[in-house]
Amino acid sequence: MMGRFGLTTGRSAGVDTEPWAVSIRPSRASPSRSRISNTCGHETAANKAFPRLRGPPRKGFLRRAVSIARMLRETFVHVPGVGYRTEERLWRMGIRTWDDFSAARRPRRLSLKLGHRIEDELTRSSEALRRGRHRYFARGLWPRDHWRAWREFRHAIAFLDIETTGLSIGRDAITVVGVYDGARKRSFVQGDNLEDLPAAMARAKLLVTFNGSRFDVPFLRKAFPRMALDQIHLDLLHPLRRLGFVGGLKAIETQVGILRSEETSGLAGFDAVRLWHAYDAGDDDALDLLLEYNMEDVVNLEPLAELAYEGLRSLCLDGGFVTADRLPRPR
């Protein structure tokens, strides 16, 4: 299709700019009816499909009443020697939180040595959490479990998305970086203020991206080799996959009912490349549209992170699933 500035947009441009995207994007995600493994690693018998969303899509991003549950305090797999099966066994015995373990006697079928190790590690974990030491959990948790720290560290969050001149980390460069901390939106542009990005990221303890592990973070490490990228990293691509959502970011937004603005609707990753080249050739309006497109990528990560957290926590602790159709309508 033709977008603003006479640019051919989306797949009609002949370039697939989202390597994680799929060619067929069903309206409903259907997990296998065989045994599947949820994101906690606990095998669960599943025989359900995820329902269609009710009602029309909504513009902007969804808001919901957040629960007071704190999954990190219900986590034991960061303790050396504790795997997903042991963690699940603790939950089933009623030991759902760190405080529960401290108050309980040593559970049956748990060795004395492991019991002492868990107790010591939970003491260190509580102190690290009290002090806000995010690196302790970034190192202690497997990357697939970083989502568990969402509630505890979202006060120091950075939703982030980058635009580049192409997909090659070796040949291409960053053009725009959008950062959102839940209140303030900031854009960093090559040739203007991109060098200010490290200072803006210095206070972030939780980084949220979509496919950032393979794309955004490697580009950032190359462009800013001295910038500390040691945050807890919630890469939403993988948690959303585990919940049954398919396709790239735009496809998942459609599935949960997030609408883009009229100006950016239909734009895809390669359009961002074209817009940058148009701006580089003297079209300032192209930069305005590029910044709007990028910031929508960024702010739309917030409701998706909330959905991923609630859905994965429900799978871990209750064996249920929080679907997008249960999100309240925005005011």
Write down the pLDDT at residue 19.
34
Write down the pLDDT at residue 237.
96
Q: What is the C-alpha separation between 189 and 291, in angstroms, rounded? A: 9
Question: Are 63 and 331 within 8 A, CB to CB?
Answer: yes
Cα separation values, 175 from 261, 273, 315, Å? 22, 9, 39
pTM of the model as a whole: 0.79
Q: Which of 100, 79, 80, 78 is nearest to 90 (CA)?
A: 100
Q: How far from each other are the two terminal CA atoms of the chain, in whole angstroms?
A: 33
Write down the pLDDT at residue 3.
40
Eight-class DSSP state of 145: G
Question: Are 163 and 290 within 8 A, CB to CB?
Answer: yes
Instruction: Kindly compute the dihedral angle of the four CA atoms of residues 246, 250, 255, 257, in this order, to the nearest 10 degrees.
Output: 160
Write down the pLDDT at residue 168.
94
Write down the pLDDT at residue 319.
60
| Helix or strand holding residue 130 (H, E) | helix 112-130
Tokens for 288, please give them.
Answer: 């305005």
Eight-class DSSP state of 111: -
User: Could you read off the pLDDT of 103-149 as tens digits, one per residue?
Assistant: 776 666 788 899 999 999 999 999 999 999 999 999 999 999 999 99
CATH number for the domain formed by residue range(s) 33-67+152-326? 3.30.420.10
Question: Are 220 and 229 within 8 A, CB to CB?
Answer: yes
Cα 272–193–280 angle (5° rounding)? 40
Q: What is the C-alpha separation between 85 and 321, in angstroms, rounded? A: 20
Q: What is the C-alpha separation between 45 and 36, in angstroms, rounded? A: 6
The values of phi and psi at residue 21, to 5°, are -75, 160
| Class of residue 213 by CB neighbours under 10 A (exposed 0-12, middle 13-18, buried 19+) | middle
Q: Is 321 in a helix, a strand, or coil? A: coil
All structural domains of the chain with their residue ranges? 33-67+152-326, 76-140
Q: Which of 288, 293, 268 is nearest to 278 (CA)?
A: 288
Write down the pLDDT at residue 269.
86
Write down the pLDDT at residue 70.
83
**pLDDT 10s per residue in the chain (331 long)?**
434 333 333 333 333 334 333 322 333 333 332 223 344 654 432 323 333 333 333 443 333 333 445 899 999 999 999 999 999 989 988 899 999 987 776 666 788 899 999 999 999 999 999 999 999 999 999 999 999 999 999 999 999 999 999 999 999 999 999 999 999 999 999 999 999 999 999 999 999 999 999 999 999 999 999 999 999 999 999 999 999 999 999 999 999 999 999 999 999 889 999 999 999 999 999 999 999 999 999 999 999 999 999 999 988 877 654 444 444 333 3
User: Could you read off the pLDDT of 247-266 as tens digits, one per residue?
Assistant: 999 999 999 999 999 999 99
- Residue for token pair 């969402």: 150
Write down the pLDDT at residue 230.
96
Question: Are 316 and 71 within 8 A, CB to CB?
Answer: yes
Question: Are 71 and 151 within 8 A, CB to CB?
Answer: yes
